[in-house]
């Protein structure tokens, strides 16, 4: 997963971070950059969990194959800015991706991301939705270029996760955040309403 993290970071360059900051109404790009790193690690860990699940692996692989081939990465700046439309609307359904990957833990994830980065709850949640298609695009591109089946994809995600855990003492999540969120009992049912409210506010 560390290689995938590096790939995500390569696409989230300073110009893209500034554009994301504008999109969510954040004043400090450094906070957005920090939050983006946390979100990337969290969602990649969630994708890895899905890829190694007999129940969810097939659905994830189908979505990657059908909707996420990495095409959005070629002109990411204009895609994020809304200046370039993608043909497949499912590709950009960040809310659906986050809901599938995190489910009831969305609200708690946004809270933790906000606490660690300094962004508020709304901005953290909306940023998570904006970045989800990018992260799925990176994973989908890796699947496509490598001709990987689900097992091969899972091995890449698992192998990288071990490397990431070894580097965790430097302050990374080390695969721990997702597990902590899953172990908690909060239902997170308010997340969709909160994020929809936040998106509407930011669009004004």
Task: Report the 10 Å Cβ neighbour count for 108.
Answer: 18
The predicted pLDDT at position 72 comes to: 94
For the chain, the structural domain boundaries read 2-203
Instruction: Kindly report the pTM of this predicted structure.
Output: 0.80
The predicted pLDDT at position 190 comes to: 43
- Whole-angstrom distance between the N-terminal and C-terminal Cα of the chain? 37
Mean pLDDT by 10 residues, the chain (204 residues): 84 96 96 96 90 81 90 93 88 94 89 93 96 95 88 79 44 50 47 50 47
For 41-79, how does the pLDDT look when each residue is reduced to its tens digit (9 = 90+)?
Answer: 999 989 988 888 877 778 888 889 899 999 999 999 999
The predicted pLDDT at position 3 comes to: 83
The predicted pLDDT at position 113 comes to: 93
Angle at 182 between CA 43 and CA 39, to 5 degrees: 20
81-to-18, 62, 111, 142 alpha-carbon distances in Å: 11, 27, 25, 24
The predicted pLDDT at position 196 comes to: 53
The predicted pLDDT at position 92 comes to: 94
Sign of the Cα pseudo-torsion (104, 108, 111, 117, in order): negative
The predicted pLDDT at position 147 comes to: 87
The predicted pLDDT at position 14 comes to: 96
The predicted pLDDT at position 78 comes to: 92
The predicted pLDDT at position 87 comes to: 85
For 97-110, how does the pLDDT look when each residue is reduced to its tens digit (9 = 90+)?
Answer: 999 999 888 988 99
């Amino acid at each position: 997963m560390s290689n995938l993290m590096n790939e995500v970071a390569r696409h989230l360059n300073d110009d893209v971070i500034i554009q994301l900051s504008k999109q969510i109404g954040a004043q400090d790009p450094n906070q957005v950059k920090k939050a983006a790193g946390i979100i990337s690690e969290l969602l990649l860990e969630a994708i890895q969990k899905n890829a190694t699940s007999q129940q969810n692996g097939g659905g994830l692989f189908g979505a990657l194959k059908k909707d996420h081939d990495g095409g959005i990465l070629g002109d990411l700046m204009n895609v994020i800015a809304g200046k370039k439309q993608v043909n497949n609307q499912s590709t950009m359904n960040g809310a659906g991706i986050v809901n599938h990957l995190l489910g009831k833990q969305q609200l708690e994830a946004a809270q933790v991301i906000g606490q660690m980065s300094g962004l508020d709850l709304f901005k953290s949640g909306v940023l998570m939705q904006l970045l989800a298609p990018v992260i799925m695009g990176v994973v989908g591109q890796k699947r496509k270029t490598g001709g990987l089946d689900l097992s091969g994809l899972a091995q890449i995600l698992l192998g990288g996760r071990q490397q990431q855990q070894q580097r965790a003492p430097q302050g990374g999540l080390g695969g721990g955040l997702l597990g902590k969120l899953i172990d908690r009992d909060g239902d997170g049912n308010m997340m969709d309403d909160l994020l929809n409210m936040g998106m509407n506010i930011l669009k004004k």
